[in-house]
Protein backbone atom coordinates (compact mmCIF):
# COMPACT_ATOMS: atom_id res chain seq x y z
CA UNK A 1 0.00 0.00 0.00
CA UNK A 2 2.74 2.46 0.96
CA UNK A 3 4.53 1.79 -2.32
CA UNK A 4 1.58 3.41 -4.10
CA UNK A 5 2.31 6.66 -2.28
CA UNK A 6 6.05 6.62 -2.99
CA UNK A 7 5.67 5.55 -6.63
CA UNK A 8 2.79 7.94 -7.22
CA UNK A 9 4.73 10.84 -5.65
CA UNK A 10 7.69 10.20 -7.95
CA UNK A 11 5.26 10.22 -10.90
CA UNK A 12 7.96 10.25 -13.60
CA UNK A 13 11.69 10.71 -13.88
CA UNK A 14 11.42 14.40 -14.75
CA UNK A 15 8.46 15.60 -12.68
CA UNK A 16 7.24 14.68 -9.21
CA UNK A 17 4.05 15.53 -7.38
CA UNK A 18 6.04 18.01 -5.31
CA UNK A 19 6.26 20.14 -8.46
CA UNK A 20 2.50 19.90 -9.07
CA UNK A 21 1.63 20.71 -5.46
CA UNK A 22 3.99 23.69 -5.59
CA UNK A 23 2.37 24.96 -8.78
CA UNK A 24 -1.10 24.63 -7.30
CA UNK A 25 -0.22 26.31 -4.00
CA UNK A 26 1.44 29.19 -5.86
CA UNK A 27 -1.70 29.70 -7.91
CA UNK A 28 -3.88 29.41 -4.81
CA UNK A 29 -1.86 32.07 -2.98
CA UNK A 30 -2.61 34.56 -5.74
CA UNK A 31 -6.27 33.57 -5.87
CA UNK A 32 -6.81 33.94 -2.13
CA UNK A 33 -4.93 37.24 -1.80
CA UNK A 34 -6.64 38.74 -4.84
CA UNK A 35 -10.09 37.48 -3.91
CA UNK A 36 -9.94 38.66 -0.31
CA UNK A 37 -8.53 42.14 -1.02
CA UNK A 38 -10.78 42.87 -3.99
CA UNK A 39 -13.95 41.60 -2.34
CA UNK A 40 -13.19 43.61 0.82
CA UNK A 41 -12.61 46.86 -1.11
CA UNK A 42 -15.73 46.53 -3.25
CA UNK A 43 -17.85 45.50 -0.27
CA UNK A 44 -16.61 48.53 1.68
CA UNK A 45 -17.73 50.77 -1.16
CA UNK A 46 -21.20 49.26 -1.28
CA UNK A 47 -21.58 48.98 2.47
CA UNK A 48 -20.27 52.35 3.64
CA UNK A 49 -19.82 54.86 0.83
CA UNK A 50 -22.60 56.91 -0.75
CA UNK A 51 -22.28 57.36 -4.50
CA UNK A 52 -24.62 57.83 -7.42
CA UNK A 53 -26.66 54.77 -8.48
CA UNK A 54 -25.20 52.66 -5.71
CA UNK A 55 -28.37 50.58 -5.42
CA UNK A 56 -28.48 49.98 -9.18
CA UNK A 57 -24.86 48.86 -9.38
CA UNK A 58 -25.34 46.60 -6.37
CA UNK A 59 -28.37 45.00 -8.04
CA UNK A 60 -26.43 44.49 -11.26
CA UNK A 61 -23.64 42.83 -9.30
CA UNK A 62 -26.15 40.46 -7.68
CA UNK A 63 -27.62 39.64 -11.10
CA UNK A 64 -24.21 38.40 -12.24
CA UNK A 65 -24.59 35.58 -9.71
CA UNK A 66 -27.42 34.22 -11.90
CA UNK A 67 -25.25 34.25 -15.04
CA UNK A 68 -23.95 30.74 -15.84
CA UNK A 69 -20.19 30.53 -15.94
CA UNK A 70 -20.32 28.76 -19.31
CA UNK A 71 -21.56 31.97 -20.92
CA UNK A 72 -18.28 33.79 -20.28
CA UNK A 73 -15.89 30.93 -21.10
CA UNK A 74 -15.45 31.67 -24.81
CA UNK A 75 -15.12 35.50 -24.50
CA UNK A 76 -12.63 35.12 -21.65
CA UNK A 77 -10.55 32.58 -23.56
CA UNK A 78 -10.46 34.80 -26.67
CA UNK A 79 -9.40 37.79 -24.55
CA UNK A 80 -6.65 35.96 -22.67
CA UNK A 81 -5.42 34.33 -25.87
CA UNK A 82 -5.24 37.75 -27.53
CA UNK A 83 -2.96 39.03 -24.76
CA UNK A 84 -0.84 35.87 -24.82
CA UNK A 85 -1.83 34.69 -21.34
CA UNK A 86 -2.85 31.15 -22.34
CA UNK A 87 -0.64 28.41 -20.86
CA UNK A 88 0.05 30.51 -17.78
CA UNK A 89 -1.55 31.09 -14.39
CA UNK A 90 -2.67 34.62 -15.31
CA UNK A 91 -6.15 33.57 -16.57
CA UNK A 92 -6.66 31.64 -13.33
CA UNK A 93 -5.43 34.35 -10.94
CA UNK A 94 -6.22 37.68 -12.62
CA UNK A 95 -10.06 37.40 -12.37
CA UNK A 96 -9.74 37.22 -8.58
CA UNK A 97 -7.90 40.56 -8.55
CA UNK A 98 -10.43 42.21 -10.86
CA UNK A 99 -13.75 41.02 -9.47
CA UNK A 100 -13.54 39.29 -6.14
CA UNK A 101 -16.76 37.38 -6.80
CA UNK A 102 -20.31 38.66 -6.43
CA UNK A 103 -21.13 36.10 -3.75
CA UNK A 104 -18.16 37.11 -1.59
CA UNK A 105 -18.88 40.81 -2.05
CA UNK A 106 -22.48 40.28 -0.96
CA UNK A 107 -21.28 38.27 2.05
CA UNK A 108 -18.91 41.02 3.15
CA UNK A 109 -21.46 43.79 2.55
CA UNK A 110 -23.84 42.07 4.95
CA UNK A 111 -21.07 41.78 7.52
CA UNK A 112 -20.06 45.45 7.13
CA UNK A 113 -23.66 46.56 7.62
CA UNK A 114 -23.52 44.90 11.02
CA UNK A 115 -20.58 47.07 12.12
CA UNK A 116 -21.79 50.19 13.99
CA UNK A 117 -21.32 53.42 12.03
CA UNK A 118 -20.33 55.15 15.26
CA UNK A 119 -16.86 53.70 14.73
CA UNK A 120 -16.63 55.46 11.37
CA UNK A 121 -17.77 58.76 12.87
CA UNK A 122 -15.25 58.51 15.69
CA UNK A 123 -12.47 57.82 13.19
CA UNK A 124 -13.53 60.83 11.08
CA UNK A 125 -13.37 63.06 14.15
CA UNK A 126 -9.81 61.84 14.71
CA UNK A 127 -8.96 62.85 11.14
CA UNK A 128 -9.07 59.47 9.42
CA UNK A 129 -9.74 59.45 5.67
CA UNK A 130 -12.01 57.05 3.83
CA UNK A 131 -9.09 54.73 3.19
CA UNK A 132 -7.91 55.10 6.76
CA UNK A 133 -11.29 54.02 8.09
CA UNK A 134 -11.18 50.96 5.84
CA UNK A 135 -7.64 49.94 6.79
CA UNK A 136 -7.81 50.71 10.51
CA UNK A 137 -11.45 50.05 11.40
CA UNK A 138 -13.38 48.00 8.86
CA UNK A 139 -10.71 45.63 7.53
CA UNK A 140 -9.58 44.32 10.97
CA UNK A 141 -13.21 43.77 12.03
CA UNK A 142 -13.84 41.80 8.84
CA UNK A 143 -11.45 39.05 9.91
CA UNK A 144 -14.07 36.27 10.45
CA UNK A 145 -15.79 37.02 7.14
CA UNK A 146 -12.47 37.32 5.30
CA UNK A 147 -11.42 33.90 6.59
CA UNK A 148 -14.68 32.52 5.19
CA UNK A 149 -13.96 34.14 1.82
CA UNK A 150 -10.40 32.80 1.84
CA UNK A 151 -11.52 29.23 2.59
CA UNK A 152 -14.20 29.22 -0.09
CA UNK A 153 -11.84 30.79 -2.63
CA UNK A 154 -9.15 28.22 -1.90
CA UNK A 155 -11.44 25.21 -2.12
CA UNK A 156 -13.36 26.35 -5.20
CA UNK A 157 -10.26 27.28 -7.19
CA UNK A 158 -8.43 24.13 -6.06
CA UNK A 159 -11.29 22.05 -7.46
CA UNK A 160 -11.74 24.11 -10.64
CA UNK A 161 -10.43 21.46 -13.02
CA UNK A 162 -12.19 22.89 -16.07
CA UNK A 163 -10.40 26.26 -15.98
CA UNK A 164 -7.06 24.57 -15.33
CA UNK A 165 -7.35 22.15 -18.25
CA UNK A 166 -8.59 24.99 -20.47
CA UNK A 167 -5.67 27.37 -19.91
CA UNK A 168 -2.69 25.19 -18.95
CA UNK A 169 -1.05 22.81 -21.42
CA UNK A 170 2.62 22.58 -20.37
CA UNK A 171 3.39 19.68 -18.05
CA UNK A 172 5.83 21.73 -15.97
CA UNK A 173 2.92 24.08 -15.12
CA UNK A 174 0.39 21.36 -14.32
CA UNK A 175 -1.67 21.57 -11.16
CA UNK A 176 -2.54 18.60 -8.95
CA UNK A 177 -5.85 18.06 -10.76
CA UNK A 178 -4.18 17.95 -14.17
CA UNK A 179 -1.48 15.60 -12.88
CA UNK A 180 -4.14 13.21 -11.58
CA UNK A 181 -5.73 13.27 -15.02
CA UNK A 182 -2.44 12.09 -16.52
CA UNK A 183 -2.75 8.86 -14.52
CA UNK A 184 -6.00 8.12 -16.38
CA UNK A 185 -4.47 9.04 -19.75
CA UNK A 186 -1.81 6.36 -19.39
CA UNK A 187 -2.12 3.17 -21.42
CA UNK A 188 -2.13 1.12 -18.23
CA UNK A 189 -3.82 2.95 -15.38
CA UNK A 190 -2.08 2.62 -12.02
CA UNK A 191 -5.17 2.68 -9.83
CA UNK A 192 -3.31 2.33 -6.56
CA UNK A 193 -1.06 5.31 -7.29
CA UNK A 194 -4.00 7.32 -8.62
CA UNK A 195 -6.06 6.78 -5.46
CA UNK A 196 -3.08 7.46 -3.21
CA UNK A 197 -2.37 10.82 -4.89
CA UNK A 198 -6.10 11.62 -4.92
CA UNK A 199 -6.15 11.20 -1.16
CA UNK A 200 -3.16 13.52 -0.78
CA UNK A 201 -4.81 16.09 -3.03
CA UNK A 202 -7.60 16.71 -0.53
CA UNK A 203 -5.26 17.12 2.45
CA UNK A 204 -4.55 20.89 1.94
CA UNK A 205 -8.26 21.75 1.85
CA UNK A 206 -8.98 19.70 4.97
CA UNK A 207 -6.01 21.15 6.87
CA UNK A 208 -6.90 24.75 6.01
CA UNK A 209 -10.52 24.23 7.04
CA UNK A 210 -9.53 22.66 10.36
CA UNK A 211 -7.04 25.43 11.15
CA UNK A 212 -9.52 28.20 10.33
CA UNK A 213 -12.68 26.44 11.50
CA UNK A 214 -13.26 28.78 14.44
CA UNK A 215 -13.18 31.93 12.31
CA UNK A 216 -15.11 30.22 9.52
CA UNK A 217 -18.03 29.33 11.82
CA UNK A 218 -17.93 32.80 13.37
CA UNK A 219 -18.03 34.45 9.94
CA UNK A 220 -21.00 32.37 8.79
CA UNK A 221 -22.87 32.87 12.06
CA UNK A 222 -22.44 36.63 12.27
CA UNK A 223 -22.84 37.59 8.60
CA UNK A 224 -26.08 39.50 8.14
CA UNK A 225 -26.62 40.32 11.81
CA UNK A 226 -27.27 43.96 12.55
CA UNK A 227 -25.11 45.82 15.07
Using one digit for the tens of pLDDT, what is the confidence trace for 65-95? 888 878 889 999 999 999 999 999 999 999 8
Q: Which of 15-24, 25-34, 215-224 has the highest mean pLDDT?
A: 25-34
pLDDT score at 221: 55
Question: Per the domain annotation, does 121 fall within a domain?
Answer: yes
Q: Is residue 203 part of a domain?
A: yes
Q: How far apart are CA 96 and CA 31, in angstroms?
A: 6
Domain containing 106 equals: 2-222
d(CA 88, CA 168): 6
Number of domains in the chain: 1
Domain CATH number, residue 164: 1.10.3720.10
CB-based contacts of 22, cutoff 8 Å, min separation 6: none
pTM attached to this predicted model: 0.84
For helices 176-185 and 191-201, the axis angle rounded to 10 degrees is: 170
Asked if residue 172 is part of any domain, the answer here is yes
More confident residue, 13 or 63: 63
Is 227 contained in some domain?
no
Q: First CA to last CA across the chain, in angstroms?
A: 54
Comparing 161 with 3, the larger pLDDT belongs to: 161
What count of Cα atoms within 13 Å lies in the side-chain half-sphere of residue 36? Answer: 20
Return phi, psi of residue 15, to 5°.
-125, 145
In a domain, 116, yes or no: yes
pLDDT at 223: 53
Residue at 19 is within a domain: yes
Position 217 in a domain: yes
Return left, alpha or beta for 156; rule: phi > 0 is left, psi -120 to 50 is alpha, else beta.
alpha
Q: How confident is the model at residue 226 (pLDDT cuts 50, 70, 90)?
A: very low
Is residue 146 a part of any domain in this protein?
yes
Note whether 48 and 120 are within 8 A (CB). yes
- Return the half-sphere exposure (C-beta side, CA atoms, 13 A cut-off) of residue 65: 12
Amino acid sequence: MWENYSEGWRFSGEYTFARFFGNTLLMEAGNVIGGVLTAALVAYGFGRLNFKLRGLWFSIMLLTMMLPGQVTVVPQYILFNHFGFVDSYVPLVLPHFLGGGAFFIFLLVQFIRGIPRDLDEAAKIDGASVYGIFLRIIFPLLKPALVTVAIFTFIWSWDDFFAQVLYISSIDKFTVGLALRMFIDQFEIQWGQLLAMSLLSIVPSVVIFLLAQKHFVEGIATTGLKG
